[in-house]
Structure 1
């Protein structure tokens, strides 16, 4: 059976590509609802605003459920956790596609979000382990690239398919593809020894690392900055920049490609120059958002700044995620889940404050100002990380957890198994 980590020099293991494809599916399901809201509302006989709760409940499930599921599945082999999370993800979509009850669909969305949180918690760890320390940020970048690419390809295709065959069609397709991804991961990620497993106590003890919280804070702030402006970008484009409504999707595609490019850039150079890349990216994002306020009266500079904002902002994501996993030492699973929660928290906080700013005297430029403030504040934890250093990891968790392991590891055939 092929190994998940055995691959030609310079190439990523197959399992990393499959994990990235699964992330693409999960990103699609989170955001495709926006394009299907009218059809879903009519079919389920609920208001459009109430149907939007499907997006809210998914975010809540990710914020709360990610860390909870990381701890709940800690005693399971990582391979089994990934396969089970994809299986639950697929089952949740079957329920959503087959049900006519809005309440049942909401519950299924929440369960699907829990499975998604569990997937990310373990998926990032598996990807970095399979790729090795010298390519860990690139591996994280590939998974986040799959998530980002879902906004460019998955969401538009899902919305278009929903218009042609009904909103249930994309949910059936996501269910089938998730089941296929689970089967492929089972094929290319054999059940092998993964070394000593860290206890739940050690996972929680890893949270004492202040550098970890600096990385998580940076994740919250940069995502809050970008999504503050992006959430209300449509009225800015049409009412201020004078872009026709039917051309707005093209601008959003430019944003998506900028996000994909930024994720790729961060994944490529983040291992070599993590702090220089992140600090430059945060400063450039803040500048792009500030310039968006006076220059958004014209179409061309607005489109350029929107794409630039996405590219510079998303450059940070694979780097701060990789740093957070690194700072957790031998207890990275809970940390990976908290990183996902941090991004979702940034989305919620940025979009909420941007909505308040939009209704204030700032008007259409309010969200951009909120985003600029968030992006500028990202510099504070990043500079603190640069001062403290990112490479000299003392692996405190490994030292402190040694006693826990002696009591919790069960020898099998003379070796510790996970």
Structure 2
């Protein structure tokens, strides 16, 4: 009896070791966390940026527009752009961990933590040391992450497959693809249009003290993150059949 229990326990440990995600997946999740924090932290710092630059909040909000244009132009042209990193990180994680592992969920968790943890921390740090402080800290962490990712992500060498530009353009002929893109653009645009100005809306319109803005950001990001986690749990092969 005892031998059977020990054998079962040993088998369970071995199964966990086989299904444990490799380090590269967590490294890529760190990259998505830094990317997401850099992308959205300006929402919590907009009043400080406007005050320091001596412009109104609407004018300071154009910085977000410039970033968005950089995303649109940069993602198709260079792998260093944020938009390309999201896609490449998921592919690299799935390639390293195998199709049966929840690697993409872990990489996506980095983005969720960026909204729940990174952006509120950035807003809090910006109130203490000025709005430039969080960006300098993120720049240093991003440089360290680049070196870590370059070291951890394996080179697939001969297994690398280069897609042609024509094949990429051929995908644009799909009407369903444009329908999905339109839905994503509409929903994301609506959310980000309000989220970009969440800090001045909380302080100027709702009358919330500036010191409580980071806590409000935690609350506003926790609900969508919980919903995404629940949706990911339901969107499993067993539940979607």
Determine if the TM-score, normalized by the shorter chain, exceeds 0.5: yes
CA deviations 1:240-268 (Å, max 9, x no partner) are: 9xx87246654442231222223333334
CA contact (8 A) 1:23 1:146 kept: yes
CA contact (8 A) 2:46 2:199 kept: no
Q: How many angstroms does 1:125 deviate by? A: 2.1
Higher relative contact order (CA 8 A, sep 6+): 2
Counterparts of 2:239 and 2:203 in 1: how far apart (Å)? 37
- State whether structure 2 residue 31 is matched by structure 1 residue 22: yes
Paired residues for 1:105-184 under 5 Å = 115-135=81-101, 138-184=102-148
Counterparts of 1:157 and 1:234 in 2: how far apart (Å)? 14
CA deviations 1:189-234 (Å, max 9, x no partner) are: 1223233322222222233344444443443344356556756778
- State whether structure 2 residue 224 is matched by structure 1 residue 259: yes
Change (3 A) 1:145 1:218: farther
Corresponding residue of 1:287 = none
Counterparts of 1:236 and 1:174 in 2: how far apart (Å)? 25
Counterparts of 1:65 and 1:274 in 2: how far apart (Å)? 37
Q: How many angstroms does 1:58 deviate by? A: 0.9
Q: Indicate which of 176, 188, 208 corresponds to 1:245.
A: 208
Q: How many angstroms does 1:53 deviate by? A: 1.3
CA contact (8 A) 1:142 1:264 kept: no
Paired residues for 1:4-403 under 5 Å = 8-66=17-75, 68-69=76-77, 73=78, 81=79, 85=80, 115-135=81-101, 138-193=102-157, 194-224=159-189, 226-227=191-192, 245-246=208-209, 250-272=215-237
User: Secondary structure, in 3 states, of the residue corresponding to 2:100?
Assistant: helix
CA deviations 1:282-312 (Å, max 9, x no partner) are: xxxxxxxxxxxxxxxxxxxxxxxxxxxxxxx
Equivalenced residue count is 223
Change (3 A) 1:125 1:213: farther
Q: How many angstroms does 1:139 deviate by? A: 3.0
Corresponding residue of 2:5 = none
Counterparts of 1:55 and 1:184 in 2: how far apart (Å)? 28
User: Secondary structure, in 3 states, of the residue corresponding to 2:19?
Assistant: coil
CA deviations 1:60-118 (Å, max 9, x no partner) are: 2223432x22xxx5xxxxxxx4xxx2xxxxxxxxxxxxxxxxxxxxxxxxxxxxx2123
Counterparts of 2:40 and 2:65 in 1: how far apart (Å)? 11
Query: Which segments of 5 or more consecutive residues in structure 2 lack a partner in the other structure?
Result: 1-15
User: Secondary structure, in 3 states, of the residue corresponding to 2:18?
Assistant: coil
TM-score (norm 2): 0.74
CA contact (8 A) 1:18 1:185 kept: yes
User: Secondary structure, in 3 states, of the residue corresponding to 1:133?
Assistant: coil
Query: Which segments of 5 or more consecutive residues in structure 1 lack a partner in the other structure?
Result: 1-6, 74-80, 86-114, 277-418
User: Secondary structure, in 3 states, of the residue corresponding to 1:29?
Assistant: helix
TM-score (norm 1): 0.46
Counterparts of 1:236 and 1:162 in 2: how far apart (Å)? 18
CA contact (8 A) 2:199 2:213 kept: yes
